[in-house]
Amino acid sequence: MNPLVAGRRDLLARATRQLSEAGVASPGHDAAELLAHVLGTTRGQLVLVDEVPGERAEQYAALVARRARREPLQHLTGVAWFRHVELRVGPGVFVPRPETELLAGWAIEQAAGVDAPVLVDLCTGSGAVAKALADEVRGAVVHAVELDESAHAWAARNLEGTGVDLRQGDMATAFGDLAGTVDVVTCNPPYIPLDAWESVAPEARDHDPHLALFSGDDGLEALRVLEARAALLLRPGGVVGAEHADQQGESAPAVFAATGRWTEIRDHRDLAGRPRFVTARLAR
Nearest to 59 by CA among 82, 36, 81, 42: 36
CA distance 118 to 27: 41
**246, 191 in Cβ contact below 8 A?**
no
* 203 labeled part of a ligand binding site: no
* 188 labeled part of a ligand binding site: yes
* 202 labeled part of a ligand binding site: no
Name the pTM for this structure: 0.84
| pLDDT recorded at residue 247 | 82
Q: Tell me which of 3.30.160, 1.10.8, 1.10.287, 1.10.3470 is the CATH number of domain 5-69.
A: 1.10.8
What is the Cα 154 distance to its own chain's centre?
13
CA distance 217 to 107: 29
| pLDDT recorded at residue 190 | 75
* Domain residue ranges in the chain: 5-69, 80-282
| pLDDT recorded at residue 245 | 83
Stated length of the chain: 284
* 60 labeled part of a ligand binding site: no
| pLDDT recorded at residue 208 | 53
Kindly give the confidence (pLDDT) of every residue in the chain, 284 residues in length, as a single tens digit, with 9 standing for 90 and above. Answer: 445 678 899 999 999 999 999 999 899 999 999 999 999 999 889 988 888 998 999 999 999 999 998 888 988 999 999 999 999 999 888 889 899 999 999 999 999 989 999 999 999 999 999 999 999 999 999 999 999 999 999 999 999 999 999 999 999 999 999 999 999 999 998 766 554 444 545 555 554 554 444 445 567 888 999 999 999 999 999 999 999 988 889 999 999 999 999 999 999 999 999 999 999 999 97
**265, 253 in Cβ contact below 8 A?**
yes
Nearest to 234 by CA among 262, 255, 260: 262
What architecture (CATH level 2) is domain 80-282? 3-Layer(aba) Sandwich (3.40)
CA distance 121 to 239: 12
* 146 labeled part of a ligand binding site: yes
**261, 231 in Cβ contact below 8 A?**
yes
User: 111: Cβ–Cβ under 8 A, 6 or more apart, which residues?
Assistant: 117, 119, 133, 137, 140, 183, 184
| pLDDT recorded at residue 191 | 63
HEC assignment per residue over the chain:
CCCCEEEHHHHHHHHHHHHHHCCCCCHHHHHHHHHHHHHCCCHHHHHHCCEEEHHHHHHHHHHHHHHHCCCCHHHHHCEEEECCEEEECCCCCCCCCCCHHHHHHHHHHHHHCCCCCEEEEECCCCCHHHHHHHHHCCCCEEEEEECCHHHHHHHHHHHCCCCCEEEECCCCCCCHHHCCCEEEEEECCCCECHHHHHHCCHHHHCCCCHHHCECCCCCCHHHHHHHHHHHHHEEEEEEEEEECCCCCCCHHHHHHHCCCCEEEEEEEECCCCCEEEEEEEECC
| pLDDT recorded at residue 209 | 53
Nearest to 187 by CA among 235, 150, 220: 220
- The residue type at 125: G
Pairing of strands 118-122, 182-187: parallel
Nearest to 106 by CA among 119, 116, 97, 123: 119
